[in-house]
Structure 1
Amino acid sequence: MRFAIMGSGGVGGYFGARLAEAGHAVTFIARGEHLAAMRRDGLEVSSIEGNLHLDSVDATDDPREVGEVEAIIVAVKAWQVREAAEAIRPMLGPETLVVPLENGVEAADTLAEALGEAHVLEGLCGILAWQEAPGHIRHAGVSPFVRFGERDNHPSKRGERLKAAFDAAHGVTAEIPDDIQAAVWSKFLFICAMSGIGAITRAPIGVTRRLPETRELIEAILAEIAAVARARGIALPADAEARALHFIDALPAASTASMQRDIMDGRPSELESQNGAVVRLGREAGVATPVNALIHAALLPQECKVRGGGESHP
């Protein structure tokens, strides 16, 4: 298949590299020093699943140069999805699939609104990875997986074809869940809890899951998210919160979430798409979310500042 990777950092860089290693035609959309390094030296992936170096990659900062592709993996930050949707239009053909791998639960809605329902699958991924240096991706934890499916859960040949493409790639597990919406919210449970607790404490997950006081906060975040999901008609499994906590407990002790790292480094973050979204979606569903509201409020002044908004809301 011919793929375009919109956002070639830890997530997009890793999965795009594995697809290219498997023989698929992959174009990476990147910018700045990362783009320059890929054009000059290729793409290096240091991974617990086995290292990989692509000596030569197709990479550009202009989607108009790419032409139509069969599948677009959207792996930008959640707050960049709307802008990304407009940028990828030149790569869309009549049958092009668009699959979001963002943290959060609203990326597919945003893409479908901008590009049309027919193009968009629901999607999610699991991986602990980041751009360690220009042209270099570091995968340090979690056995990488992608899950995707039609937004109404009907079986489709195009979904199976996409799964076959990922199945051919080393270091990736691909799955089409029976209920993709429940899968997206199940992933959101643990990543939002991990992001929120990490961002307000500035501590790795090994510390916050061990201390009784912060572990109680993690459990409260999970309970609020699950309540919002169920109020919105998401068929979460009865043990979804326990599964999320088990996943958190299994992470390497030094693990941090990308939202936490962005906040600690003074960069714009996914606050509004994670804990902020819990508060907003909970309000719409009539569900109280006091712990997520506190996290959101505590982090909001810094978020406004780094976005240049002073005291205004981002």
Structure 2
Amino acid sequence: MKFAIMGSGGVGGYFGARLAAAGEEVTFIARGAHLEAMRRNGLRLTSIKGDLHLERVQTTDDPATIGTVDCVIMAVKTWQLREAAEAIRPLVGDTTLVLPLENGVEAADTLAEVLGEAVVLDGLCGILAWKEAPGHIVHAGVDPFVRFSERDNRNSERTARLKAAFDRADGVSAEIPDDIRVAQWSKFLFICALSGIGAITRAPIGVTRQLPETRQLIEAILVEIEAVARAQGVAFPDDAAERAMRFIDAMPAESTSSMQRNLMAGEPSELESQNGAVVRLGRAVGVATPVNELIYAALLPQELAARDTL
């Protein structure tokens, strides 16, 4: 299959590299020093699932030079998503799939607003990875997985074909879940809790899950998100929050979220699509989210300063 990776950092760089190593035709869309490093030296992946160096990769900063593709993987930050969706229009033909591997639960809605419902899948991924340096991706935790489906959960030949491409790649587990909304919100549970607690404490998860005071906050974040999900009609299992806490307990002690790292660096973050989304979606269904409201309010001045809108 012919892939374009829109956003070639930790997520896009990892999954794109694995697909390219498996023989798929992959073009990485990047910019700046990362783009130049890939042009000169290819893409290097340091991974707990096995290191990889692609000495030559296809890369560009202009999607219009690629032509239509079979699948566009969206791996930009959520606050960049609408602009990125406009930029990939030249890549999207009648049979193209657009697969969001974003944090949050609203990415597919945004993509469908820009590109139309027909080409958009619902999707998510799990991985602890980041861009260590230009041309170098580090994968340090979580067995990498992708999960995706048609937005109405129906089986289709095109999602089966996409899964087959991921199945050919080493270091990737691909699944078409029975209920994609449950899968999305299940990930959102733990990533939003990880992001929120890490961003306000500036501590890794090994610290915050151990201290009774911050562990109680993590559990409260999970309970609120679970309540919002159920009110939104998500068919969660009875122990959804407990499962998310077990996942958090199993993460490497040094783990931090990308939202936490962005805020600590004074950069724009995914605050609006994570804890902010819990607050907004909770209000829409009449569910109180006081802990997430506090986290959102406490971090908002830093977020606005990073965006130069304060």
Relative to the length of structure 2, the TM-score reads 1.00
Partner residue, 1:131? 131
SS in structure 1 at match of 2:104? coil
1:86 partner letter = E
| 1:1-314 correspondence to structure 2 within 5 Å | 1-310=1-310
Deviation per CA, 1:228-275, whole angstroms, max 9, x where unpaired?
010011111111111110110000000000000001111000000000
How far apart in 2 are the matches of 1:118 and 1:239? 34
Deviation per CA, 1:186-244, whole angstroms, max 9, x where unpaired?
00000000000000000000000000100000000000001001001111111111111
1:77 partner letter = K
How far apart in 2 are the matches of 1:74 and 1:208? 31
SS in structure 2 at match of 1:271? coil
How far apart in 2 are the matches of 1:103 and 1:85? 16
1:236 partner letter = F
Structure 1: unaligned runs, 5 residues or longer: none
Relative to the length of structure 1, the TM-score reads 0.98
How far apart in 2 are the matches of 1:183 and 1:271? 21
How far apart in 2 are the matches of 1:13 and 1:205? 24
Q: Percent of counterpart pairs with the same letter? A: 75
2:219 partner letter = E
How far apart in 1 are the matches of 2:152 and 2:216? 35
How far apart in 1 are the matches of 2:229 and 2:204? 26
Deviation per CA, 1:16-70, whole angstroms, max 9, x where unpaired?
0000000000000000000000001000000000000000000000000000000
How far apart in 2 are the matches of 1:239 and 1:120? 30
How far apart in 1 are the matches of 2:238 and 2:34? 43
Number of residue pairs matched by the alignment: 310
Deviation of 1:151 after TM superposition, in Å, equals 0.5
SS in structure 1 at match of 2:272? helix
How far apart in 2 are the matches of 1:45 and 1:307? 30
2:90 partner letter = P
Deviation of 1:138 after TM superposition, in Å, equals 0.2
Alpha-carbon RMSD across the aligned residues, in angstroms, is: 0.4
How far apart in 1 are the matches of 2:20 and 2:118? 26
How far apart in 1 are the matches of 2:60 and 2:139? 23
How far apart in 1 are the matches of 2:235 and 2:65? 42
How far apart in 1 are the matches of 2:114 and 2:240? 31
Deviation of 1:276 after TM superposition, in Å, equals 0.3
Q: Structure 1 residue runs of 4+, over 6 Å off?
A: none
